[in-house]
Structure 1
Amino acid sequence: MKKNRYILTAILSTGLLASCSKSFLDQNPTNQVPEEQVFTTADNVETVINGTWSYAMETFFTFAVPGYTSILRASDAMGSDVAITTKYGLRDAYTFVEMVDNTKNRVSAYWTILYKIIDNANNVITRVDGVTGDETQKARLKGQAYALRGMCYLTLASYYQFNPSVDPNAKAVPIYLKPTTPDTKGNPRATIKQVYDQAIADLLAAEPLVQGYSRGDASKKYKIDINVVEGLLARAYLQTQQWTLAQQKAAAARVGYPLMSAEDYLKGFNDVSNAEWIWGHPQTPNQSNASYNFHFLDVSSPGSYYYSFMADPFFKNFFDNGDVRTKLFDWDTLPSQEGYLRYKKFRFRDETALIGDFVLMRSGEMALIEAEAYARAGNTGAAATKLNELRSARTAYNYVPGTGNIIDTILVERRKELWGEGFSLSDIIRTNGTVVRKAFTAYNGTDSVINVPRGNGTFKQVKAKGHRTLRFPDGTTFVPQSKYYLFSIPLSEVQNNPNL
C-alpha cells in the first residue's frame, strides 16, 4: 500500500489550481494543501471530486497510458476483434506479454489510477458530512464519491480475477474503505466475491444520494448522476449473473437517452452531445490529455499518429450488408498501412486541435444488457425484442427467434456494437470465454490478396493483414481462464504490502 499513502494532496492540487484563490494556494506548496483547509466547505469538496475526475482521465504516465480510458484500450487490444499493428502504444498488451508482467509501467499505472481514485473517494465519504454548505450538495457529492469508488472496484473485479462463477473465493485485490495515512498497513487481497459485493454496495449507497441531481448541458456529462449509477449497477449485476436486477437497472439507465440515428453512428464517436451517450468525458483544447487515446483509435484522420486499432478482417463477416456499421470498413491504401482493414468508428472531432470526447456509457450497451439478461433468464421473446430494437437502429436485419442461439447472437452483437469501447477482454473474463484469433489467409492457406485503389484510378494488389499474434507468449493456444487474461498486481505493491 506504500504507493498510495500520499495521494490526497496531489489530487487535490489538480482540482484546486483551477478554482481556489492565489492567497489560498500561497499558504502552502501546491502539492501540499492541508486536508483541514480543503475539507471545510461543500464547494471545496466539489473541487476535490472534480480534481479526482481530472486526475483519472487526464493524467499521463506515458504517451501510451493517458489516464483511465487507456484501461479500456487495453481491454480491446487483448481481445478478438482488434488487430493491433506494430506501432507504438498497445502492441505488447495485444501480444499478452505486458499485463502479465508485474514490472511493466502499464501494470503499475492502472493500479495507481484506480487506488488513487479510491483513496480520494474515501476522503470525501469520510469527511463531507462535517463540512459547511448546502446539505443537498453535500449528499450528492458523497453519492458521487461512492459511485467513483464503486466504479473502481468494479473495474478491479473485471480484470484482476476470473468471474466469481469460477471460484467466488479466489483472491483478487485489497479493499480500502478509509483514507490512507503514512501509518496505513496494506490490506490482504479480498476474494473476488467480496470485491464485487463492495462495488455493488457502493453503487447502491450512491443511488439515493444522487437522485434528482441534474447535470445541465451535455458538457457536464462527465458528472455522475442517477443514470450513470444505474448503468454501473447494470454492469455489476450482469457480471455477477443477477439477471433480473441487471435488466431493471439497464432499463433505468436508458431513460432519457434514445438510441442514436444511423447517421449519427457514422460521425466519429467523438462528441458528448450525442443523444445516446449517458456518460462521457469532454475534451477542449485546454483539457485534452485524454484525447491522446484517439491517436490509437483513429485510423483515418491525417493527424493521427499511430492508427493502431485496425479491425480483424474476419470481424466484418459478422455484419449484414445493409447494416450502417458496414460503412465504417475500408481497406487502408497508405503505403505504410496498406492491407489493413480500417474500422473508422472513432475520429478526432477537431482535426486541427486533435481532440475528441470519450464515450463511457451509452444506451446501446444498456439495450444489450437488457437483451442478455432476459435471454439468460429464459425470456427469449423479451430478449429478441431488445436485441432487435438495437439492430433496427443500426439498419440490420432483425433476429428471428429460433434461428440461432440467442445468447451467442447477443454476445456477437456486443462485439459489433461496442468495438473499441473497452469491453472485449472484460466480456471474455465475464463469460469464461476465450480469445479467438486466426490468420487471414486464402482458402488454401496462402496469403489473402486484395485490390486497393490508387489515386490514378488503378488498383494495386496487396497482402491483406489481420492478426499477427495467434497464440499466447508460451506458444499455447488461446483457452478460457488463462493467466494471460488477468492484470498483474505491480511488483512495487507486492514488495511494499506483505499482507497481499
Structure 2
Amino acid sequence: MKKYISAILFALVLFSACSDSFLDENPKNFESAEQTYKTTKGFNAALNGLHAYARLEFETWNDNIVAQGACAYEVLQGGLDVCYINNVDGTLQPFQKYTFDATNSYIANRWKWAYGLITNANMMVNYAEKGDVAWIKDTDKTFFQANARFFRAYAYRYLTYLYGDVPWVDKVEDTYRVDFERTPKAQVLAKMIEDLEFAAKYLPENPGDVKDGELTKWVALHMLSEISIFAGDYKKAQTAALEVINSPYFKLMDTRFGKNASQAGDPFADMFLEKNQNRKAGNLESIWVIQAEYNVTGGSTTYNDWTRRAWVPAYYSIPGFMITQEYGGRGLGQIRPINYIFNSYETQDIRNSIYNIRREFIYNDPKNTELFGKKHTITEDNMDRGYMFPTTTKFDYMPENDPTYAGNQKDKIRFRLAETYLLLAEAYLDDNQASKAVDAINKVRERAGATLAKVAEVNMDYLLDERSRELLGEEMRRFTLVRTGKLIERTKKYNSKSASTIKDHHVLWPVPQGVIDANSGLKWENNPGYN
C-alpha cells in the first residue's frame, strides 16, 4: 500500500511525474488513502511510509519511481569547491564541465523525488484535517501534521536551492492540473519557515523518548536556522540555533564512545563508525540520523545509498591491492576531495588524523609478493581514474560476509550539533556580529584541538573552509554555496577542472524540460541561461 501511495498519487497530483507508465499502474491489492487515514494506527503506517520515501533521497539504480542513476548524491558535491569529478561515470561529467541542460536525468529526478515527498506529506496534513479520524490521543493530529510539515519543508529545501522559484503545493488536488504557477522563492521560504515552526512546536522534545531516526523538535529547529539564513532572517536563525545548542540533550563528542572505543581512534572518527551514529549508541552530537542499516527491517536496500562508492577509491583495480575494510571496502572513486581542504588542517586537528583522512595506501595482496607491504605512490592518472586518492573515512563500509557489496548501508547522520554551531556562526556573520561568530566557530575548533580563530581572520570564506573541514561529505555543498552566494567564486578559485566552464547562471539548475512541457496550461520560461 505505501509503495502504491508513493508511486502513483504524486504522479496524479503533480505534472512532474506524468509518464504514462505511472498513470497506468494497476496493483491487484492496496488499501486506499481514505481507508488508511482513519485511525492513529493508519497514520502511523503512513508515517513509516513517509520516512521510507524520504530515504529514497539518493536512490540509485532500482525499479521504483525515483531511481536516479548511479550518482544521485555526487551531483551535489562534485564540480564545486570541495570535489573534482573523476573519469569513472560519464553521467557525472556534465556537472564538472557544466554542460548539463534541462533534459538531464539527475536534474529531472531530483525534482521528481522532492514533489513525491511533498505529495505524501500533503496527504498526511490534509487527511488529518478531516473530522472523522479516530485519534487515540488528543495530540495525535498535531503530531502527525508536524512530521509531515517537516518533510514538506525538507523537500522544498532541495527545490529552492536547486531551481529557485517553484510551485508551492500544500494540498492534494482532486483533478489533474497542467497550469501550476512558479511561486517566488521568497514566498516558498516563508512557507517553509511556517512549516518548521509548526514542527518545532508539536514534535517530541526529549530525543531519548523516541526511536532512532524519528523526528524531534530539535531536528526542525536546526533546519529552521538554516532556512531562516537563506530567507535573510538572521535573528530568527540565531534564536533557532541557540535553542538547539542550549538544550540539555546534545553535546559535541569530545570523548571516546561506542564501537571500538577501546581501540585506537578519536572521538571524531567514532561518530562515523557503523552502529555509532545514533543516540542510543552514545552519540549525543547527532540530531537527526537516517536509518539505513544493513539487513534490518525498516532499514534501507542495496540501492538506497552508494555514498561509499563516491568517496572510497577503486584501489583494488591496481595490481597489488585487494578489497579490505581497512581501505573502506568496495568504492569506485567517483569524486575526490580537492587538496586545499586537507592542506588547510593544522597537524594537531583530530579531523586531520589518520583515523579521519586516509592518505597512505600499502599494497595488501599477499599473492603479489613483489609489492606486498610496500607504500603505493599516488599518481594524477590514478586519481583521475578513481583508483587512488586521499579521502575521508566517514563513508567506509564493508559487510563482513560480502566484501564486494555495492551499497552503503549504515545509518547516516543528516544533522549534528557541530553544524548547528556553524549555522549560528553564519547567522552572526550575516548580521555583522563577527565576535559572536568567532565564539561559535571556536566551539567546533576547540573540540577538534585546532588553534582558536581570531576575529580579524574570520569572514564567510573562513567559515566555508571550516565547514569543509568539519562537514566534508555530510553537508550538501551546493546548498551551502548557494545560500552564502559563493558558488561561482569558490568553484573558480579551487576547482581547476570546472573553473573555465562554470558561468553565473549555473548557480541554479534548469527546471526539467519534461516539467515545462507537461505544464501545458501555463507556459513557463526556464531559469536564465537555459532557454
Q: Give the TM-score taking structure 1 as reference length.
A: 0.78
Distance 1:471 1:63 in 2: 35
Distance 2:331 2:78 in 1: 17
Runs of 4+ in 1 over 6 A off after TM superposition: 63-70
Distance 2:447 2:413 in 1: 18
Q: Which position in structure 2 is the counterpart of 1:346? A: 395
Alignment partner of 1:496 is 2:510: no
Alignment partner of 1:395 is 2:449: yes
SS at structure 2 position matched to 1:250:
helix
Q: Which position in structure 1 is the counterpart of 2:78? A: 77
Match for residue 254 of structure 2 among 258, 261, 277: 261
Alignment partner of 1:233 is 2:233: no
Q: CA deviation at 1:114?
A: 0.5
After superposition, the C-alpha distances for 1:286-332 in whole angstroms (9 at most, x for unaligned) are 33333422221334745323132321112222211211111214155
Q: CA deviation at 1:227?
A: 0.4
Distance 1:268 1:94 in 2: 30
Alignment partner of 1:407 is 2:460: yes
SS at structure 1 position matched to 2:391:
strand
Q: Which position in structure 1 is the counterpart of 2:240? A: 249
Distance 1:282 1:179 in 2: 28
Q: CA deviation at 1:382?
A: 2.0
Q: CA deviation at 1:31?
A: 6.7
Q: CA deviation at 1:438?
A: 7.2
Change (3 A) 1:61 1:181: farther
Is the Cα contact below 8 Å between 2:74 and 2:335 reproduced in 1?
A: no
Is the Cα contact below 8 Å between 1:73 and 1:420 reproduced in 2?
A: no
Alignment partner of 1:432 is 2:430: no
Alignment partner of 1:139 is 2:142: yes
Match for residue 48 of structure 2 among 44, 47, 50: 50
Counterparts of 1:29-428 in structure 2, within 5 Å, are 29=27, 32-58=30-56, 60=59, 62=61, 73-88=74-89, 91-92=92-93, 94-97=95-98, 100-130=100-130, 131-134=133-136, 135-161=138-164, 172-212=165-205, 214=207, 216=209, 220-254=211-245, 255=247, 256-261=249-254, 263-267=266-270, 269=272, 270=274, 271-273=276-278, 274-286=283-295, 287-289=299-301, 290-299=304-313, 301=327, 303-327=329-353, 328-331=357-360, 333=376, 337=386, 340-348=389-397, 350=399, 352=401, 354-402=408-456, 404-428=457-481
Q: Which position in structure 2 is the counterpart of 1:459? A: none
Distance 2:142 2:69 in 1: 26
Q: Give the TM-score taking structure 2 as reference length.
A: 0.74
What are the ranges of 5 or more consecutive residues in structure 2 without an aligned counterpart? Answer: 11-25, 256-265, 314-325, 362-375, 403-407, 525-531
Q: CA deviation at 1:30?
A: 6.0
What are the ranges of 5 or more consecutive residues in structure 1 without an aligned counterpart? Answer: 1-5, 14-27, 162-171, 441-465, 473-477
Change (3 A) 1:414 1:302: closer
Q: CA deviation at 1:368?
A: 0.6
Aligned residues: percent identity? Answer: 21
SS at structure 1 position matched to 2:359:
strand
Is the Cα contact below 8 Å between 1:438 and 1:470 reproduced in 2?
A: yes
Aligned residue type for 1:347: D
Change (3 A) 1:339 1:346: closer
Distance 1:63 1:342 in 2: 28
Is the Cα contact below 8 Å between 1:368 and 1:414 reproduced in 2?
A: yes
SS at structure 2 position matched to 1:420:
coil
Distance 1:369 1:303 in 2: 33
Distance 2:158 2:498 in 1: 26
Distance 2:70 2:288 in 1: 13
Distance 1:149 1:388 in 2: 33
Q: Once superposed, what is the RMSD of the aligned Cα atoms? A: 3.2
Q: Which position in structure 1 is the counterpart of 2:7? A: 10
Distance 2:460 2:198 in 1: 31
Is the Cα contact below 8 Å between 1:66 and 1:293 reproduced in 2?
A: no
Distance 1:179 1:68 in 2: 29
Change (3 A) 1:67 1:231: farther
After superposition, the C-alpha distances for 1:354-411 in whole angstroms (9 at most, x for unaligned) are 5222111010110011122223323232222111111010111101222x24333222
Q: CA deviation at 1:193?
A: 0.8
Is the Cα contact below 8 Å between 2:79 and 2:85 reproduced in 1?
A: no
Aligned residue type for 1:342: T
Is the Cα contact below 8 Å between 2:242 and 2:424 reproduced in 1?
A: yes
Q: CA deviation at 1:67?
A: 7.2
More strand by share: 1
Change (3 A) 1:78 1:438: closer
SS at structure 2 position matched to 1:280:
strand
Q: CA deviation at 1:257?
A: 1.7
